[in-house]
Structure 1
Amino acid sequence: MSTDGKLHIGLSLTPTWLKGQRPHPDEALSAGMGPVEYYVELARLAERAKLDFVFRPDYLVMNQAMVAHSPTHVGLDPTMMLAAIARETEKIGLVTTASTTFNPPYIVARQIQSLHWISNGRAGWNIVTSIEGAENFGNEPMPSPEVRYRKAAEFTDLVRQLWASYPGASPQASVQAVDHAGEFFHVKGPLNVPGHEAGPPPLFQAGASEIGRSFAASVADATFAAMPDMSDGIELRTDLRNRAVQQGRSANAVRVLPGLYFFLAGTRDEAWKLHERAHAHLTRERRVEALKNVLGLDAGALAPGSRIAADLLPASDHPVRSRTHAELLRRFIAANAPTIEEVLARPEVVGSAHWVSVGTVDDVLNDIVERFEAGALDGFIALPGGSVDSLNLFFEELVPELVRRGLFRGDYEGSTLREHLGIH
Structure 2
Amino acid sequence: MKSALFNRLSVLIYSITLFFNLYGSQTECLAKPAPESSGGFGYQALKINNRFVDQKIFSEERNRFFRRSKANPAMMYKSEEERMDLVLENVIDRVVVEDFLLNRSGIRITPDETRAYIKQYIRPHCPSPEEFASYLHKQRYNNEQDLHKEIKLYLTKTTYFVKLAKEAGQTIPHQELDSLFSKHVDDNRFVVTRQIVISDLDSIKAQELVHDLYRQCGSGADFSALAAQYSSDEQARSAGGLNRLISRFDFDSVTANRIFSAQPGEVLSPVKHGLHYLLIKVEKFISTSHPKTEFTDMQLLKKFGDSELYKKWLTEQKSKTSISITDPALNVYRLYRSGQYDKAGALYEKLYLKHHKEFHLKRAIESFEKAGKTDQQLRLAQRGITAYPEDLTYHLTKAECMYRQGQISEARALLQDIELRSRDNLYITDLLAKTRAKLGIAK
- Same fold per superposition (TM over 0.5): no
**What is the TM-score when the length of structure 2 is the normalising length?**
0.20
Q: Compare CA radii of gyration and give the structure with the larger one.
A: 2
TM-score, length-scaled by structure 1? 0.21
